[in-house]
Amino acid sequence: MDEQLRVYLYYSMTTSPGNQKAFLIRRAFGEGELEHIRKITVAAGILGCSMSRPLWFASERTYPAAPLFSMITPGPQLETILSFLLLGALLGSWFKVRMTIAAVVLIIILCLTDQTRFQPWLYQYLLLLSAQALPLKLGGGPVNILNAYRFMFVAIYFWSGLFKINWTYAHMVFPWLAGNKIKTLLGVGAVESLAIISAVAEMLIGLGLLFPRTRNAALWLCILLHCGILLRLGPLSYGWNTVIWPWNIAMILIAILLFRRTPQISATDIAKPKKFFHRSIVLLCGVAPALSFVDLWDFYPSFHLYSGDHQAAQLKLSEAALLRLPPRTNSLVNKNEKGENLLHFEPWCEKTLNVPPYPAERVYRSIAKSFANQYGKENSDVTLILEGRPSLLSGEREVRVIEINPAR
């Protein structure tokens, strides 16, 4: 059926909420799935923000903010107000689809004021909610939006798996996720081979969801993948990175809504966009992540999820700067074999905000500058040590040392 005719029929026949015919039409056109996805996204978003509370309320944090533009620096009080408004908008979005407009706008504003907030889970929630905030002409109605969502999931699993095919994931990240018992049982070599197999399997989940014949099998593998992540990172094992627990549960539920019993949805329906939102998702989720290979697109919106191939950084501090730190930050500083005081961004951000740092050089530089302005007095008090992306084949990193001068 012609898409314009489908949209016309949908909106002309669903004007009476109490009408049984209207109810059946809504189900046929996917409105029920859209509502469920919105509510799952809202619930996961509220939980994610609540579990990373210091990230949103400036008065509770010692990890500096990193605004995208230096002129966008609202005070702590304004940021607190905006964060409360965001929680209210998300809660309102559970009941009223129109409230998603406010939630989307507030997410964008708060991420502009601090790029660390632009976590992968928030990026996906932003895309999911944006569709339902758009007018019909841009969104294209429930059928087009659901197909755009399906493409998003296909792209996430494909890119996330592809980026894991590297030395660091095989030798460091996956063995840590597998745990010592698996390494002892299978041996180090087998675990490293299993790491590459897992990366390829994740790519195949994405491709499998695209085609009707392989969709059910891919969906089951998708559910097993997220259950495995929850098992290893959840309270029964490492109990680490708690903010992604609701994200993984949301991914399972939304994937079921999108791909279960959908033989009528072809690969062309998913991969060939017809409306603005679907085209935007193909561009943002399908094409843009490839630019991260040449550092023209950030890692988090490229779905580098536990791939280990991102940049890292640490601060080297003088003894004078160390004495000026608040106790909570001071406790995270370690001495290396040379006796240098090192503050690694990863544990610092995770312990302070309950999220990993945003892995981009401009963000590390911005945070280092704010830190030097606050705790440095001399030019040698704070030094930024930037560790580049590890080599795909050896894991070696290029290290640069940058002296950060405090503002006078």
Domain count for the chain, please give it: 1
Residue 391 lies in a domain: yes
Query: Is 333 a member of any domain?
Result: yes
Residue type, 84: F
> Could you tell me if residue 355 is inside a domain?
yes
Task: Note whether 112 and 82 are within 8 A (CB).
Answer: no
pLDDT truncated to tens, each residue of the chain (408 aa)? 444 445 444 445 444 454 444 444 444 456 789 999 999 999 999 999 999 999 998 776 889 999 998 777 777 888 999 999 999 999 999 999 999 999 999 999 999 999 999 999 999 999 999 998 888 778 888 999 999 999 999 999 999 999 999 999 999 999 999 988 888 889 989 999 999 999 999 999 999 999 999 999 999 999 999 999 999 999 888 899 999 999 999 999 999 999 999 999 999 999 999 899 999 999 999 999 999 999 999 999 999 989 999 999 999 999 999 999 999 999 999 999 999 999 999 999 999 999 999 999 999 999 999 999 999 888 889 999 999 999 999 999 999 999 998 875
Q: Say how far apart CA 324 and CA 330 lie, in whole Å.
A: 9
**Residue 96 buriedness (CB in 10 A; 0-12 / 13-18 / 19+):** exposed
In a domain, 370, yes or no: yes
Which residue do the tokens 């210091």 mark?
54
Whether residue 74 is contained in a domain is answered as no
Closest to 113 in 3D by CA, of 52, 68, 80, 75: 68
Partners of residue 383 on adjacent β-strands: 316, 403
Domain encompassing residue 316: 312-404
| Beta-sheet strand order (sheet of 341-344) | 334-335, 341-344, 312-317, 382-387, 399-404
Residue 273 lies in a domain: no
Task: Give domain status of residue 332, yes or no.
Answer: yes
Which residue is it, tokens 């056109």? 29
Per the domain annotation, does 214 fall within a domain? no
Model confidence over 67-84: pLDDT tens digits? 998 777 777 888 999 999
